[in-house]
Chain A
Amino acid sequence: MDKANQRFGFLCSLPILVVLGLGFLAPLAVVALYSTMPERVFSLANFPTFEAFRTLVEQSYYKSLLWSLGMAVVATCMLFLLCWPLAYAMAKVFRSFALAITILVVMSLFVSENIRLFGWSLTLMKGGLLEGHARAWFGIGFEGLLYNVPIIVFGLVYVYLPFMLFPLAQGIAMIPDDARQAATDLGASRWQLLIEIDLPLAAPGIAVGSLLTFVLAAGALAESKLLGGQAVIVIADEIETAFTYSQNWPLGSALSVVLIVIIGCLVTYGLARVDLDSIIGRNR
């Protein structure tokens, strides 16, 4: 039976590996190749120069990268704090209500992120849902809340909330109640319970949730465009501009490569330490 396992496992993995080979690996390889080309060429038949990477440093494109990474870190930390109580309640306190929350949160994911962000700009703009009603009902007008850095972080927190919430809830569900009970019986305080039992035992879920939100937020584009009014230029925006308006593919590729390497290292490091069978398999 073991031989059959090997053979069927391999065969069944083929279709999706073909999809990912053609749609994921190959494009990334092409981007990596382009990043070594001289600037502003459109063919790969040139001698590699790496000058795009020099431009990247000299023309301070790294600032966008730092903004993106910084905002992603802040959004991830905020999401962790915001989601922990709810994830905890979903895993340990709510019973059938947890299912209702899950369905409602998942359904919000099916609405295109730009419709939801557009909704926020209608809500927060001057003359929007909040300001307009505050002025009409209470006579308190204020400037619109859009077009600054905090609102971009707010957008990231909003869009990526489910990506933190679900892995976290899954991780907390892996904490055995006995362990908490035993710790309480031995006189552990609430704080000790959190630090010594909950956080370490839920670590796989915390790792997956934080990685996912950080990575997606670092490469996010729509939040800064729709809510931030480009108060800062994020890295994904620079990459888009290089590929489209400025027609400088090697530069766009070099910027992508830097982002991909950072993300790749984090994800490989993080995922190598997580046992997926126990996270996904328990979900029944």
Chain B
Amino acid sequence: MGASRSTKLALYAYAALVVAFLYLPLVSVGFASISRARYLTFPIKKYATKWYGSAFASETVMDLLVVSLRIALIVAAVSMTVGFFGALAFARYNWRYRSLFQKVILLPIFFPQAVLGLALLIWFNALGVIPDWKTAVVAHLVWIAPIATLIIAIRAYSFDPALEEAASDMGASTWQILREITIPLLMPGIISAGLFAFLLSWGNFPLSLFTTGADSTLPEWLYAKVVSGYTPLVPTVGVLTVAGSLLLIGIAFAVFHVFKFASSRSA
């Protein structure tokens, strides 16, 4: 559709404004993390990186890091597996309850996470399970596995069933078809689902809040410190958490490009 030049310009400006709006609070956190003063006020008078030193030296922060990392890695691995099969049921196979299944998968996404976290807390208690990081993995999965399913399903829609049928006609077993055809074709979707799952779990707060028990994740600790007992480490740890996500995204992009480059050379 031919939008006029000035309309286009206005739309570009608007888009830039929305993105700036999304990132402005992070700018504040970034500045706060390098302020020297113990009690933060803007404009910042003296800058210092000493809080980063204390954050890296802090055992609490390292413990939080390990717990968050462990939860996110397991959530990513399970989401990729469960999501792979879920996506096939969602998009590939034409089975009787498919449309119902598609809607059931969406329900946890259309559900307030804080309420879900509290419901899980009561459920674990009824089961006699004492909450720790493992129950948080379950909580994260309820929300993240459906998202992973959707991401892989997008890929699975473009899947040509004739490929599997051809392999089957040539005598390949179900397992061979899965390994040689289905998994490689859906691989880009599976990898992005894993990346999403890791990052969403890493940054999740409302589910972790009620389901980690005595353990604590980075976002949870930040929340606790903001609500009561603010320390100058809060913005610093916040920045480090964001930096962790960025690092992972960067690595993922780099690996993706190297992979693409290598496969285009060999083709």
Cβ–Cβ < 8 Å partners of A260 in chain B: 115
Main secondary structure of the interface of B (DSSP, over half): helix
From A10, A92, A131, A267, give the contact of B107 (CB < 8 A): A267
Residue B146 is within 8 A (CB to CB) of chain A in the complex: yes
A/B pair count, beta carbons within 8 Å: 303
Cβ–Cβ < 8 Å partners of A109 in chain B: 200, 203
Cβ–Cβ < 8 Å partners of A284 in chain B: 154-155, 157-158
Chain B's closest residue to A122 (CB) is: B28
Question: Contacts A110-B200, A119-B25, A161-B22; is A128 near B42 (CB within 8 Å)?
Answer: yes
Question: Contacts A122-B40, A276-B102; is A23 near B138 (CB within 8 Å)?
Answer: yes
Q: Mark B131-154, 1 if CB is under 8 A from A, else 0.
A: 000000011011001100110011
Q: How large is the interface on B (under 10, 10 to 19, 20 to 34, 35 or more residues)?
A: 35 or more
Cβ–Cβ < 8 Å partners of B163 in chain A: none
6 A-B pairs with CB atoms under 8 Å apart are A9-B96, A112-B218, A114-B205, A115-B203, A120-B28, A133-B42
Residues of B within 8 A of A (CB): 1, 3, 7-8, 11-12, 14-15, 18-19, 21-29, 31-32, 40-43, 81-83, 85-86, 88-89, 91-99, 101-116, 118-123, 125-126, 138-139, 141-142, 145-146, 149-150, 153-155, 157-158, 165, 199-200, 202-206, 210, 218-219, 222-223, 226-227, 234-235, 238, 241-242, 245-246, 249
Residues of A within 8 A of B (CB): 1-2, 5-6, 8-17, 19-20, 22-24, 26-28, 30-31, 34, 42, 44, 82, 85-86, 88-90, 92-94, 97, 101, 104-105, 107-123, 127-129, 131-133, 136-137, 158, 161, 177, 180-181, 211-212, 215-216, 218-222, 225-226, 236, 239-240, 243, 249, 252-253, 256, 259-260, 263, 267, 271-272, 276-277, 280-281, 283-284
